[in-house]
Chain A
Amino acid sequence: MLIAKAVCPKCKAGFIVDQKLWNVGTVPLRCIECGHAFLPPGSPKSLSVEEAVNAAVPIRIWKTG
């Protein structure tokens, strides 16, 4: 398990994120405290969503709230 540490730009809460999700970079993370959605800063954007979840079909991201 490789993880990245995220900090919410709105409320400054810290939490851990799967490195693969972080490396996608186009999927908003969800703050565990305030629910704010934000993109991981500095993500290399080196993985597609499909690669990150090992899917053989196109994946859409379900939006909360």
Chain B
Amino acid sequence: MMAPSLADWLSDPRVPLRRVEDLVDPAAFEATAILEQLEALGAPPPVLFPQVRSLDGSSGEFKLLFNAYGALGSIAPALGSAAQSWPALLQDYVKRVRDVREPARVDRAAVHENAARGSEVDLRILPWTRHVAGEGGDYFTPIAVARAPSGTRRHNLSWNRAMFLDERHVGVHISPRDLWSFHRAAEEAGGPLPVALVLGHHPAFNLAAAAIAGSAQDEYFIAGALLGHAVRVAPSLSYGDELMVPADAEAIIEGRLLPGTRVVEGPFGEYMRYLGPQKLSHVLEVDAITWRKGAVIVEIFTCHLDHLNAHISIEASFLEKAQASVPQVSGVSWFRGGGPTTLVIALRKTNEGQAMRAAMAAMSASNLVKQVIVVDDDIDIENSQQVLWAVSTRMRAESGLVPLKNLPGISLDPSGSGPFDATSGFIMDATWPLNRPHPPVGKVARDHLERFPLSRYRITNAR
């Protein structure tokens, strides 16, 4: 059985897919203007734009898909989960990601059905997108695949912002993690780093790009775990076995990250909901564009829920770390409405100190989180009002609030400062102390609700 494709996910009746049948111009903000209005109506559905204008003005060769990650109902089927809440989905994710699968080599790849190589390459055939006001150019949000230039030779997957520069060049912003290190090693050796920008694949494949993996882990294995099947990989057209590409991708840009070269790139809308600034980024010189017939480019609706939820792999890592350290952790969630730098942990506390230990363990997973609130497991951690109620009524700052100084943060956090984006944070223990009784929450008892159901009564509008 083959690994599921994007087409399989799109045809899944559980996925609340919408289609916009009209021709739209994504470089003129037309697609995202539609998305913004849809998001105002509620949980944003995935939206397929079958007719989009490319940068050269043509239409019809490529389709665009946004909001693959906008709603729980979209992501859960991608991960083979029937979860009805985000915390439950994270529990399913943690189980699924453990079943890593070795990629399967194939010599014929669907993504190689069409190709433009060398002098044929013109990136303007693609439907580059402008997402939010203030961005500095036309962008894609692809998955970059690169291979460690020495040592393990493992493949790394990462989500990157990629700005159109000209017919054969792309500006790629790279955070100082694995891809950055691979390029630096190649750069110091005086050569370029081959990279494939994957412009569309099954959403589970893309989620692997945000996973926090061990430094020796080939991330195609993780993509296989999330897909539930081995990823099929094929030699790239331009670099052969030197860079294996996902055979079932929709479209791929093959290129070399140039050594000793940077370009002014940005601003760009980021998942913190702010614009990230114009800065110096890497330059990709393109050797080939390949695509399957009817390719669907999967694009992120930046600064919106699609963008935040595309990071659930990181959120799941917080859960995994916290539960490994404190098994009484029952769930984690971003602080809803507050963005990804604040994490809420639900705890079935049995000993004092568990809240602090769970928070420290979660924070060890990533620089992303700087603030952790720990609550009892009767609190709905997806409900920010309930979380703040626990903070208001169960925490004493003198003992429950622990400030944290000089934390490494992330470069996209606007509150960060200093040359290495150092920040500060806190751990907030908003759980009841175990050594004294606490009052019950006032509620009408369930048997009374059942005895006096609303439907029995004639309630009229008094105005």
Chain A residues proximal to chain B, CB less than 8 Å:
1-3, 6, 15-18, 20-21, 24, 27-30, 32, 49, 52-62, 64-65
Contact = CB atoms under 8 A, between A and B. Distances in A.
Interface in B255-309: 258-264, 266-267, 275-280, 283
A34 to B, nearest CB: 12
Contacts of B136: 15, 30, 32
Complex A-B, nearest 3 residue pairs according to Cβ-Cβ distance, in ascending order: A18-B279, A62-B263, A16-B277
A54 B277 contact: no
Contacts of A60: 260-262
B263 A64 contact: yes
B262 A56 contact: no
Contacts of A59: 260-262, 280
A28 B416 CA distance: 25
Nearest to A28: B264
Contacts, number: 98
Interface stretch (B224-232, B381-389, B407-415, B436-444): B407-415
Contacts of B380: none
Given A16-B275, A28-B264, A64 B411 contact: no
B133 to A, nearest CB: 9
Contacts of A52: 280
Contact of A1 (B135, B258, B277, B280): B277
Contacts of A20: 279-280, 419
Contacts of A24: 280
Interface in B160-206: 165-166, 169, 171, 176, 184, 187-188, 190
23 contacts: A1-B277, A2-B418, A3-B414, A15-B136, A16-B134, A16-B278, A18-B266, A18-B277, A20-B419, A21-B264, A21-B277, A49-B280, A55-B262, A56-B184, A56-B188, A57-B187, A57-B190, A60-B260, A60-B261, A61-B262, A61-B263, A62-B165, A64-B166
The CB with the most chain B CB atoms within 10 A, among A16, A28, A60, is that of A16
A47 B139 CA distance: 28
A52 B277 CA distance: 14
A15 B166 CA distance: 22
Contacts of B278: 6, 15-18, 21, 29-30, 32
A54 to B, nearest CB: 7
A55 B257 CA distance: 14
Chain B: interface residue count, which band? 35 or more
A6 B263 CA distance: 17
A31 B184 CA distance: 29
Given A30-B136, A62-B165, A21 B260 contact: no
B129 to A, nearest CB: 15
Given A17-B277, A21-B279, A57 B260 contact: yes
B152 interface: no
B421 interface: yes
A64 B136 CA distance: 12
B114 interface: no
B375 to A, nearest CB: 29
A17 to B, nearest CB: 5
Given A17-B279, A21-B278, A62-B165, A30 B188 contact: no
Contacts of A65: 166
Contacts of B412: 1
Interface in B110-167: 134-137, 165-166
B411 A1 contact: yes
A61 B277 contact: no
B367 interface: no
B130 to A, nearest CB: 10
B417 interface: yes
The CB with the most chain A CB atoms within 10 A, among B260, B280, B412, is that of B280
Contacts of B188: 56-57
Contacts of A53: 262, 280
A32 B132 CA distance: 12
A52 B262 CA distance: 11
Given A30-B136, A56-B184, 19 more contacts: A1-B413, A3-B414, A16-B277, A16-B278, A17-B279, A18-B277, A18-B278, A21-B278, A27-B264, A29-B264, A32-B135, A49-B262, A53-B280, A54-B176, A55-B187, A56-B187, A56-B188, A59-B262, A62-B263
